[in-house]
Amino acid sequence: MDFHLSKEQLMIQKMYREFAENEVKPLAQEVDEEERFPEETVKKMAKLGMMGIYFPKEYGGAGADVLSYVMAVEEMSKVCGTTGVIISAHTSLCAAPIFENGTEEQKKYYLPKLCSGEWIGAFGLTEPGAGTDAQGQQTTAVLDEKGENWILNGSKIFITNAGYAHVFIVMAITGVRVDKKGRKSKEISAFIVERDDPGFSVGKHEKKMGIRGSSTCELIFEDCVIPKDRMLGKQGKGFALAMKTLDGGRIGIAAQALGLAEGAIQETIAYTKERVQFGRPIAKQQNTQFELADMHARTEAAKFLVYSAAMKKENHEPYSVDAAMAKLVAAETASDVTRRCVQLFGGYGYTREYPVERMMRDAKITEIYEGTSEVQRMVISGAIMK
Amino acid sequence: MKLIVCVKQVPDTSGVVAVKEDGTMDRAAMDTITNHDDLAAVEAALQIKDATGCKVVVISMGPPPAEGMLRELLARGADEAVLVSAREFGGSDTYATSQILAAAIKKVGVEDDDVILCGRQAIDGDTAQVGPQIAEKLHVPQISYAADIKVEGKSVTVKRLLEDGYMTLKVQTPCLITCVKELNNPRYMSVGGIMECYQKPLEVYNYETLKDDPLIDVDTIGLKGSPTNVYKSFSPPVKGAGMMMEGADKATVEQLVSILNDKHII
Amino acid sequence: MAFDSKDTAAFKGVWVFCEQREGQIMSTSYQLLSEGRKLANDLGVELCGVVLGSGVKEEYIKALGGYGADRVYNCDHPLLKDYTTDAYTKVICDLVEDKKPEIFLIGATNIGRDLGPRCAARLHTGLTADCTHLDVDVAKYKEFLKTTSTIDVDNTVFEENTNLKMTRPAFGGHLMATIICPRFRPQMSTVRPGVMQTQEFDQAHADKTVIEQVDVKLEAGDINVEIVEIVKAAKQMVDLIGADVVVSVGRGISKDPEKGIALAQELANALGGVLGSSRACVDAGWITADHQVGQTGKTVHPRIYVALGISGAIQHKAGMQDSECIIAVNKNADAPIFEVASYGIVGDLYKVTPMLTEAIKAAMAAK
């Protein structure tokens, strides 16, 4: 076992930290207050190769590894949860499924544009009636009479990056399957939808509790026409593709949660050293010290789960359960830690003058999206109790 | 055309500064950074490279760990690096340092259309002397305090800062320019650049490599070859603490102002 | 005989480079002459000013004597009108090689710090940058150390010599170093502007000063750099050095730099002072470098220095700790700025500053 980062990973981490401190942190409060998608930050990250970190150079990627990608989400989330999830959704939920399931033509066409940040990516699975129960899909795709185009109808909700994305991985029903016992189930397939496709539109923007700069919108398909070669993976394999994609996405969200917890702890250490009550900094109170010690230990534990899941994905080992554990623990740690940090800040922590209340709001979503904590428990228990 | 950039790794004196019991700086206990002005010089070189496709060589004199800094500069986009490192070079003052760096630059090779770039000064010594002294040793013209650099063929136009304005100067290559940090905003390393930086060439020049250059002589390098020596070094005393006011409200402020008033300070 | 910088016995006299811009002598030159006078007296040698220019008015050159110069070498040549490294280095080195001064002081201006190192490298001698104190006499040096260092002077052995002891801050002011150049001459030093005190103008001394016209050997071909234009900054430069009151901002304004600077400016206006800054704010791009106080900025000693949200890194303290009255406002009770503050308030600068401005305005109005 080797718990050391490589020379390159250390250098990449250093670069992320400098970038986050100088470019992301100064905007974090404004992005939250104004519910504004930080387009300028995305352009800067794209220039540094951060929109295609672990994809090979031949597809326009930076040629680094999955852990370097995870660290990007972590480091950005330390100062701005919104920025963290932009990278995560773009990379894990759009570029990754194309890289892992796409035809050579699809990879050659989409990946360079996604990796360079020219296009931003998103992923559409959730529908009004199909959240955790992803089988409840209503969106349909049917081939037209000539057999040349797919016609999509339906809608998707809560889609991260939607307002700014150019490429969407969308799940739709392409038929009905009947098993040997005569039971019917929906056949789901994955498609690559582009923003300008006729009949496609982005609907209402959600007003959220946290990650308020993240663009979360509805996707609407009204006789949306896409060429036949835009199917991603094989027909009928869409559900498996979506689940596998979410396994990868969970590592990204776990990294976001990890970063939020680490960022809140950093802010709290600095604040408690400055804040004087009863004639001395509150950092000198044992309650403060023990709270921070406990939070730090739990956050480090979460970090090992997150990094371990990343390394398993990197090494092409099964990582579905690892990703679920990482997300479960990191998300719950983030919620717990940020809440305790607000408490240590006292009244100031509850004001928007300090970042910890924002981090607390941002942390909550990590327990919900890309599979709630309950879904993660289902995945884990399913694996250990089969 | 090629750009040679001289860079120094320095202790980060803006953060926590460690001082040993004997009053000297505990360099080992401090973070090291690439000197700010030098980063501006590297960025200036990379911008010229972006425009012309020329080669950028970074060169640093320092102990072996300075390789880490050079790798980071390769990750930013420099093409080659040279680390000038030898026990014999230790203890050099600016005169001796410029002798060694000039010899190293000659070894890299100065072509007719090359430009040498340095930072104006390093934050540990703040001398601003090494750049001009290298220029003298190489017999090339210098322009210091550059706040803007334009290269057109063999002609270089530089905006040189003065305290009360600036001068625009024109010089022919080869020449040496020292850069101030206001010149630009240095780029970050890129992920792709970092993945390549360990494959790029990094050469180490030691005493053996440079000893045949007439500039390198026991009488002109290292502690012994340095014209200046330290006579004494000492820590400045801490001024006695004054009066800490109670609270931070209106009453506090009014109390302070009345003290200032009574003492005829205002 | 050929020039040999190692032949230390052959060198005599103290020289000061008297920088001119557009025919006007820079005030740094008077400071250096005043300081050079003391050194020349201690050594019992002549103090010479060196002027390079074209058509610098004779009265200006004569006036250098009033600040202590016994002799002025006037190097007048059309090619010396504006500063170029090549021309100035050549003329100065020719003159040094001919006359052999033992000490050569140059103001640490942007021009002095370009010229000094090039000359020192050509003459093969040492140069100490940006000095803040000079001595030749060991007894005087020891007196200096008694008030400015933590050294137990009486129980420390000092080598007796008349080498120029050039003291300067090192490592951003965390350490002070006294540098000597024992084996080579001239002993060269660039001296920080604003540090040395200018002596009273002495007309009688000026009347006795010898002006020596130097036969300048210079051709256009000696100069490799072409001056395209010289532009004076249109905006008023901040006169920090001469200010009576300085109100400075530090990293503490990071939450809202614009507002922090506005509040500081209002306080400065109320006190009739100017706006200063720590290095952090300059590095962050919140304020221009001409406001910077400290090791790499300007050294100030105003009557009142207000530090708002400045932690008091040693490099900042180096530039302001000699101020008469220091008022510090900082959220962090442990900030090192409070170690040098005459009055300290632990609090939020965004809240304290406007209250302070109001209270001062009220106090002023009551007078």
Could you read off the pLDDT of B92-101 as tens digits, one per residue? 999 999 999 9
Dist. CA C326–CA C303, nearest whole Å: 8
Using the predicted structure, report yes or no on whether residue C325 has a pLDDT greater than 80. Answer: yes
Cβ atoms of residues C119 and C89 within 8 Å: yes
Which residues of A are part of the catalytic machinery? 370
CA–CA gap between residue A135 and residue A121 (Å, rounded): 23
pLDDT per residue over C337-359, tens digit each?
A: 988 899 999 999 999 999 999 99
Residues C74 and C151 in one domain: yes
CATH of the domain at C140: 3.40.50.620
- At residue C1, does pLDDT exceed 60? no
* Any domain includes C163: yes
Please provide the average confidence, as pLDDT, over all residues in chain C. 91
Other CB atoms within 10 A of residue A35 CB: 17
* Whether residue C245 has pLDDT greater than 70: yes
The structure tokens listed for B30 are 């401090």
Strands C165-170 and C175-180: antiparallel
Q: What is the DSSP letter of A233?
A: S
Summarize the confidence of residues B193-200 as an average pLDDT: 97
Tell me: pLDDT of B240 over 60: no
pLDDT for res B7: 97
Find the helix or strand (DSSP H, E) in which B86 lies.
none
Residues of C with Cβ-Cβ distance to B137 under 8 angstroms: 121
Are residues C154 and C39 part of one domain? yes
Residue B167 to residue A302: CA distance in whole angstroms: 57
A55 phi and psi angles, rounded to 5 deg? -90, 150
Helix (H, G, I), strand (E, B) or coil at B251: helix
Q: Which residue of A has its CA nearest to B69?
A: A11
Query: Has residue C235 got a pLDDT over 60?
Result: no
Mean pLDDT lowest for which of A82-96, B118-132, C162-176, C349-363? C162-176
**pLDDT given at position B58:** 98
Report the C-alpha gap between A52 and A45 in whole angstroms: 10
Confidence band of B243 (pLDDT split at 50, 70, 90): confident
Q: Are residues C112 and C259 in the same domain?
A: no
| Alpha carbons A294 and A290: distance in angstroms, whole number | 6
* Residue C154 included in any domain: yes
CA–CA distance, A224 with A201 (Å, rounded to integer): 9
Residues of A in contact with C333 (CB under 8 A): 276, 281
| Cβ neighbours of C242 (radius 10 Å) | 10
Give the number of beta-carbon pairs within 8 Å between A and C.
9
Which residues are CB-contacts of A86 (< 8 A; sequence separation ≥ 6)? A37, A38, A42, A120, A160, A161, A214
- Cβ atoms of A353 and A23 within 8 Å: the answer is no
Q: Which of residues 68-87 of B touch A (CB under 8 A)?
A: 71-72, 75
Residue B210: strand, helix, or coil: helix
* C51 and C180 together in one domain: yes
Range of the domain at C127: 8-222
Same domain (yes/no): C217, C277: no
Helix pair angle (A81-90, A25-33), 10° resolution: 90
By the 8 A CB rule, do A319 and A312 touch? yes
**Residues of chain C contacting residue B229, judged by C-beta atoms under 8 Å apart:** 179-182
A 259-298 residues with CB < 8 A to B:
none
Percent of chain B scoring above 70 in pLDDT = 93
Q: State which amino acid sits at residue A80.
A: C
For range C51-80, the mean pLDDT: 96
**Which residue from B25, B237, B252 is facing C175, i.e. has the nearest CB?**
B25
Confidence of residue B238 (pLDDT cuts 50, 70, 90): low
Query: In this structure, is residue C233 part of a structural domain?
Result: no
pTM equals 0.86
Q: How many CB atoms lie within 10 A of CB B207?
A: 16
Interhelix angle A66-79/A7-19, nearest 10 degrees: 30
Would residue C121 count as lying in a domain?
A: yes
For residue C1, being part of any structural domain is answered with no
| Low-confidence residues in chain A, pLDDT < 50 | none
**CA-nearest residue of chain C to B24?**
C175
From B184's Cα to the closest Cα of chain A, the distance in A is 15
Do C194 and C287 fall within a single domain? no
- C158, C189, C222: which is the final residue of a domain? C222
Q: C331 CA to chain A: closest CA distance, Å?
A: 6
Which of A135-139, A322-326, C311-315, C326-330 has the least mean pLDDT? C311-315
> Are C179 and C253 in a shared domain?
no
Q: Do C202 and C285 fall within a single domain?
A: no
Q: Amino acid identity, residue A14? A: K
User: Do the chains contact at C233 and B166, CB–CB below 8 Å?
Assistant: yes
Q: Is B197 on the interface with A (CB under 8 A)?
A: yes
Contact C85 B132 (CB under 8 A): yes
pLDDT given for residue C201 in this prediction: 94
Q: Are B235 and C175 a contacting pair at CB < 8 A?
A: yes
Q: CA nearest A265: which of A283, A247, A285? A: A283
Q: Are strands C133-135 and C165-170 parallel, antiparallel or unpaired?
A: antiparallel
Phi, psi dihedral angles at C219 (to 5 degrees): -125, 160
Write the secondary structure of chain C as one string of H (helix), E (strand) and C (coil). CCCCCCCHHHCCCEEEECCEECCEECHHHHHHHHHHHHHHHHHCCCEEEEEEECCCCHHHHHHHHHHCCCEEEEEECHHHCCCCHHHHHHHHHHHHHHHCCCEEEEECCCCHHHHHHHHHHHHCCCEEEEECEEECCHHHHHHHHHHHCCCCHHHCCCCCCCCCEEEEEEHHHCEEEEEECCCCCCEEEEECCCCCCCCCCCHHHHHHCEEEECCCCCCHHHCCEEEEEEEECCCCCCCCCCCCEEEEECHHHCCCHHHHHHHHHHHHHHHCCEEEECHHHHHCCCCCHHHEECCCCECCCCCEEEEECCCCCHHHHHHHCCCCEEEEEECCCCCCHHHHCCEEEECCHHHHHHHHHHHHHHHHHHC
Task: Kindly report the backbone phi and psi dihedral angles of residue B84, in degrees, each rounded to the nearest multiple of 5, phi listed first.
Answer: -100, 110
Q: Examine the domain organization and report whether C194 and C290 are in the same domain.
A: no
CB–CB contact C178 B243 (8 Å): no
pLDDT at B17: 63
Choose one of C222, C256, C271: the last residue of a domain: C222
Chain C CB within 8 Å of residue A274 CB: yes
Structural domains of chain B ordered from first start: 2-225 (3.40.50.620)
Structure confidence by residue, pLDDT tens digits, B40-55:
999 999 999 999 999 9
**C345 at A interface, C-beta within 8 A:** no
Q: Which residue has the higher pLDDT, A149 or C243?
A: A149
pLDDT band at C159 (very low <50, low <70, confident <90, very high): confident
Identify the pLDDT of residue B25.
63
The answer to whether residue B264 scores a pLDDT higher than 80 is no
With 0-12 / 13-18 / 19 or more C-beta atoms within 10 angstroms meaning exposed / middle / buried, residue B125 is buried
The number of distinct structural domains making up chain C is 2
* C334 neighbourhood in chain A, CB within 8 Å: 273, 281
Nearest CA in chain A to B190: A48
- In this structure, the answer to whether residues C280 and C167 fall within a common structural domain is no
- Is residue C237 included in any domain, yes or no? no
Is the preceding omega at residue B174 within 30 degrees of 0, hence cis?
A: yes
Length of chain B measured in residues: 266
**Are residues C149 and C272 both part of a single domain?**
no
pLDDT at residue B21 above 70? no
Give the nearest partner residue to C304 out of B132, B161, B265, using CB atoms.
Answer: B265
Angle between helices C112-123 and C85-99 in degrees, nearest 10: 50
> Considering Cα of C211, then C217, then C219, then C225, what sign does the dihedral take?
negative
Q: What are phi and psi of A153, to 5 degrees?
A: -140, 140
DSSP class of residue A187 equals E
The token duo for A34 is 């104004």
Does residue C179 contact residue C40 with C-beta atoms inside 8 Å? no
Nearest alpha carbon to residue B231 among C155, C43, C129, C141:
C141
User: CA-nearest residue of chain B to C233?
Assistant: B165
Nearest to A333 by CA among A289, A302, A291: A302
Q: Which residues pair with B61 in a beta bridge?
A: B84
More confident residue, B151 or B262: B151
Q: Residue B214: which pLDDT band, with cuts at 50, 70 and 90?
A: very high
Chain A residue with minimum CA distance to B70: A11
What DSSP element (H or E) covers B148? strand B142-152
Of A321 and C320, the one with more pLDDT? A321
| CA B84 vs CA A201, B45, B75: distances in Å | 60, 20, 19
- Predicted confidence (pLDDT) per residue in A162-188, tens digit: 999 999 999 999 999 888 998 888 999
My answer on whether C76 and C191 are in the same domain is yes
Tokens of C12: 């005599």
For residue C316, is it within any domain?
yes
Residue C86 has pLDDT above 80, yes or no: yes
Asked whether residue C267 is domain-assigned, the answer is: yes
User: Is the Cβ–Cβ distance between A69 and A8 less than 8 Å?
Assistant: no
Given pLDDT bands bounded at 50, 70 and 90, which one contains residue C176?
A: confident
Locus of tokens 């990796």: A115
Q: What is the CATH number of the domain that holds C295?
A: 3.40.50.1220
Q: How far is B64 from chain C (nearest CA, A)?
A: 21
Contact C331 A274 (CB under 8 A): yes
Q: Last residue of a domain, which of C160, C187, C222?
A: C222
